[in-house]
Amino acid sequence: MSAPPPPSTTARNALVVVAVIVTGAAMHWMGAIITPLLLAMFLAVMVDGLSRVILNRLPALPPRAAILAAIFFSIILVVLSTVVVAANAEGFIATLGRDQPKLDALLSGLAARMGPHAPQSVAQLLSRLDPMQYAGAVAQALQNFGSAAVLVLIYLGFLIASRHAFERKTVKLFANRDARHEALNVFLHVRDAVERYLWIQTVTGLVIAGGSFGVMMAIGLDHAFFWAFLVFILNYVPILGAVAAIGLPALFALLQFGDWGRTLVVLGGLFAIAFVVGNIFLPRMQGKGLNMDPLIVMLSLAFWGTIWGLPGMFLSTPLTVLSMVILAQFNGSRWIAILLSGDGDPLGLGAAGHSPEAA
């Protein structure tokens, strides 16, 4: 009896597309479970990379001590971030209350141009919005955020505790040495890509935040440090984060100063800093590290944001890099990895390289 003919390339690619759609629907349905786990894995990669940096600097330090030091340093960063937000929240709210007459004047001016039905003061705007109808949704969102944060920390603890068992599981899972070596190479590709992304976004975020802080201090914008901190955090969200990091300080500059001149200075200054860093320094730092097409960055933001909301936007680039590296390992899905890459070489093997084959 003759063997059945192998599936055509078209049928195989169609199966890949259907599998992607079904997987996306399943991930959306299981988002409440998967999202905290992915965030915990993201944090675990950060902790692991930080521990290796500590070991490189202090080679005499035991590995367990390096892990503990990395965890302690990460906790300190989180606590400091929380303190910065909490310390500025009260003054920020007080500033909003102080500047309400200016906001009323701006709304009145806009209402004169938009017609009599537009709100002419903050009180009219709030009365039309009816904030009480959103109170339940806001309370539920805060509750979900708290629950998710606790779940992420629990997942992170278990991931760090079980990291030493991964090597033994890999040996049991891949009895063949070549298969085990290939799986290790895939893992290293993924880990290095995610760590490189974190390093690049952190450095560029610090540069943009530092430059933005200088511009806002020079113009006299209130709470400049808070806005610079927000610019740094939003830098981890592709595209939309940059838009918010430029637009929000400019909006509050308009509220504080009440004139368009200094507002345009803030807007232009922040835009110029983000443009120079994003188009000159960032490509040089990335090199062939992430190797993602700019259009794919935008589409991945929309795709993962649709599936998981804000956490999906935050994880969009690391998840797409991870998907590209994994898809490049298999003949049937390598064409997707090539489309996702920036230069058609998703693994950075060069013209003489060859992608690993899969059975």
User: How many angstroms separate the Cα of 114 from the Cα of each of 107, 180, 241?
Assistant: 10, 67, 29
Could you tell me if residue 85 is inside a domain? yes
Most confident of 111-120, 173-182, 196-205: 196-205
Residue 80 covered by a domain: yes
Residue 177 inside a domain? The answer is: no
pLDDT tens digit string along 287-345?
Answer: 545 667 777 878 888 888 888 887 888 888 888 888 887 777 777 777 888 887 776 76
| pLDDT over 50 at 257, yes or no | yes
Per-residue pLDDT averaged across 42-63, rounded?
Answer: 82
| Sign of the Cα pseudo-torsion (43, 27, 301, 296, in order) | positive
Percent of the chain with pLDDT over 70: 69
Mean pLDDT value across the chain: 74
Domain with 84 in it: 28-98+130-163
| Residue 274 or 255, more confident | 274
pLDDT tens-digit readout, 109-149: 666 666 556 555 555 555 555 555 555 555 565 566 667 77
Number of domains observed in the structure of the chain: 1
Residues facing residue 341 across a β-bridge: 292
Using a pLDDT cut of 90, give the percent of the chain over it: 2
Identify the pLDDT of residue 214.
Answer: 92
Does residue 48 belong to any structural domain of this protein?
A: yes
Q: How many helices (H) and strands (E) does the chain have?
A: 16, 0
In a domain, 157, yes or no: yes
Question: What pLDDT, on a 0 to 100 scale, did the predictor assign at position 240?
Answer: 73
Please check whether residue 56 lies inside any domain of the structure: yes
Rounded Cα–Cα distance for residues 192 and 48 (Å)? 11
pTM of the entire predicted model: 0.70
Give the helix/strand (H/E) hosting 81. Answer: helix 63-98
Enumerate the β-bridge partners of residue 292: 341
- Mean per-residue pLDDT, 201-221: 89
Q: Decide if pLDDT at 28 tops 70.
A: yes
pLDDT tens digit sequence for 71-86: 888 888 777 777 777 7
209 within some domain: no
Residue 212 lies in a domain: no
Task: Please tell me which residue, 57 or 332, carries the higher pLDDT value.
Answer: 57
**What are the b/e assignments for 266-278, b being 16+ CB within 10 Å?**
bbebbeebbeebe
- DSSP letter for 332, please: T
